[in-house]
């Protein structure tokens, strides 16, 4: 009977070691998961800032195009105007 008890104790010790390993692995994975979640949050914040900067750039670009179109329209109007009419406006 002693041999059976020793075998059972040995098996329980093996299982206990495996459980300790699994618990340690779970803690390691939890820490890694927290680090990855923090990285994701930082990437999302960075992406939001980049989107905001891009939107500002596109707004500036649209304003510049609008101003250029206005100037080109003025130049076209000037180029197509009657020279006598232009001198009478002075």
- Give residue 4's pLDDT: 82
Q: Which of 16, 18, 14 is nearest to 26 (CA)?
A: 18
What integer is the mean pLDDT of 32-50? Answer: 98
The model's confidence at residue 46, banded by pLDDT at 50, 70 and 90, is very high
pTM: 0.60
The model's confidence at residue 86, banded by pLDDT at 50, 70 and 90, is low
At residue 89, φ and ψ (nearest 5 deg) are -75, -15
Is it the case that residue 49 has pLDDT exceeding 90? yes
What percent of the chain is predicted at pLDDT more than 90?
A: 78
């Amino acid at each position: 009977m002693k041999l059976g008890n020793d075998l059972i104790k040995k098996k329980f010790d093996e299982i206990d070691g495996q459980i300790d390993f699994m618990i340690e692995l779970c803690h390691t994975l939890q820490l890694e998961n927290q680090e990855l979640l923090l990285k994701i949050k930082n990437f999302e914040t960075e992406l939001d800032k980049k989107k905001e900067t891009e939107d500002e750039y596109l707004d500036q670009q649209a304003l510049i195009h609008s101003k250029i179109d206005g100037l080109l329209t003025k130049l076209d109007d000037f180029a197509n105007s009657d020279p006598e009419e232009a001198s009478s406006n002075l």
